[in-house]
Amino acid sequence: MGCIYKDKTRTVAERVNDLLERMTLEEKIGQMMQISFTSVSRKEAEEWVTERCAGSFLHTLGDDARHLQKLALSTRLGIPLLFGIDAVRGHALHNGATIFPTQLAMACSWNPELIRMAGRVTAREVSADGLHWTFSPILCLGRDLRWGRINETFGEDPYLTGVLAASIIQGYQGDSLSDADSILACAKHYIAYGEGTGGRDAYDSQISIRKVREVFLPPFRKAVEARCATFMSSYQSIDGTPVTANKKVLRKLLKDELGFEGFVVTDWDNTLSLIVNQHVAGDMETAARKAVEAGNDMIMNTNAFYDAALKLAGEGVIPVELIDDAVRRILKMKFELGLFDGKAYTQPGTNTDAIGCEEHLAVALDLTRECIVLLENRNNTLPLAEMVKKIAVIGPNADNIQSQFGDWTFLSHPTPKPHEVPKLPVRTFLSGIMELAEKRGISVTYHRGCDIMNKDDEDIAGAVECASTADVVIAVVGDCLEQNGEYKDRADLALSGSQQKLLESLKQCGKPLIVILVNGKPLAIPWVAKNADAVLETFNSGLFGGKAAAEIIFGEVNPSGKLPISFPYHSGQLPVYYNHLPGWHGGRYMDMPEKPLYSFGYGLSFTSYEYSNLHLSHTACSADDTVTVSVDVTNKGPYDGKETVQLYVKDVISSVVTPVKQLKGFMKTEIKSGETKTVKIDLPVRELFIIDENENQVVEPGEFEILVGPDSRDESLLKAVLTVV
Active site amino acids:
267
Tell which residue, 504, 517, 492, 498, has the closest CA to residue 570. 492
Cβ(723)–Cβ(702) below 8 Å: yes
The angle formed by the CA atoms of residues 157, 161 and 165, to the nearest 5 degrees, is 175
DSSP annotation string for 636-669: -SSS-EEEEEEEEEEESS-SS---S-EEEEEEEE
CA–CA distance, 200 with 222 (Å, rounded to integer): 27
CA-CA distances (angstroms) from residue 279 to 250, 283, 317? 20, 10, 21
Neighbours of 504 (CB within 10 A): 12
CA-CA distances (angstroms) from residue 483 to 149, 433, 452, 493, 541? 10, 26, 10, 10, 16
CB within 8 Å of 419: residues ≥ 6 apart: none
CA–CA distance, 313 with 631 (Å, rounded to integer): 61
291 half-sphere exposure, CB direction, 13 A CA radius: 37
Cβ(161)–Cβ(217) below 8 Å: no
Strands 718-724 and 620-621: parallel
CA–CA distance, 492 with 510 (Å, rounded to integer): 30
Q: Please name the residue ranges forming H helices in 341-472.
A: 358-371, 401-405, 429-439, 460-468
CA–CA distance, 439 with 376 (Å, rounded to integer): 26
CA–CA distance, 80 with 71 (Å, rounded to integer): 9
Cβ(54)–Cβ(306) below 8 Å: no
CB within 8 Å of 352: residues ≥ 6 apart: 128, 129
Tell which residue, 446, 325, 437, has the closest CA to residue 396. 446
Tell which residue, 225, 223, 258, 253, has the closest CA to residue 241. 253
- Judged on CB neighbours under 10 Å (0-12, 13-18, 19+), 337 is buried
| φ, ψ for residue 230, nearest 5 deg | -140, 155
CA–CA distance, 218 with 687 (Å, rounded to integer): 10
CB within 8 Å of 493: residues ≥ 6 apart: 145, 146, 521, 522, 523, 524, 568, 570, 571
| φ, ψ for residue 610, nearest 5 deg | -120, 130
Quote helix, strand, coil % in the chain, to nearest 5.
Answer: 35, 20, 45
CB within 8 Å of 446: residues ≥ 6 apart: 392, 393, 394, 398, 399, 430, 466
Backbone region of residue 129 per phi and psi (left: phi > 0; alpha: psi in -120 to 50; beta: other values): alpha
| φ, ψ for residue 509, nearest 5 deg | -70, -15
Neighbours of 569 (CB within 10 A): 20
Strands 33-36 and 56-58: parallel
